[in-house]
Amino acid sequence: MDEQQIEENSMKLQLAIHNNLTVEIKHYKDRYFHMAKGKLYKIDIVNKYIKIDNEERTKINLNDLIDVAID
């Protein structure tokens, strides 16, 4: 990802967590692309991950994040 896309995804994540919005996140894990949908409940900048409040309690490494869409 280029710097502009990283910044755009970061802004969407901040907007979603502050306004309790549902997000759909495309990410890469174990050589496959995955989608995770739910509300953000944690953004950890120091350890570089986010957690989504869904059935799986998905934890996504920020380096694996590809795209963020707000529902």
| pLDDT tens, position by position, 13-25 | 999 999 999 999 9
If one counts every other C-beta atom within 10 angstroms of the C-beta of residue 42, the result is: 11
Whether the pTM exceeds 0.75: the reply is yes
Kindly state the percentage of the chain with pLDDT values over 70: 100
Tell me the sheet residues that pair with 32: 29
Task: Read off the pLDDT band of 70 (50, 70, 90).
Answer: very high
Asked whether 26 and 35 are in contact (CB, 8 A), the reply is: yes
| pLDDT tens, position by position, 34-66 | 999 999 999 999 999 999 999 889 999 999 999
pLDDT for the residue numbered 71: 85
Plot region of 48 (φ>0 → left; ψ -120 to 50 → alpha; else → beta): left
Q: Is the dihedral of CA 29, 30, 35, 39 positive or negative?
A: negative
Residue 28 reports pLDDT greater than 90: yes
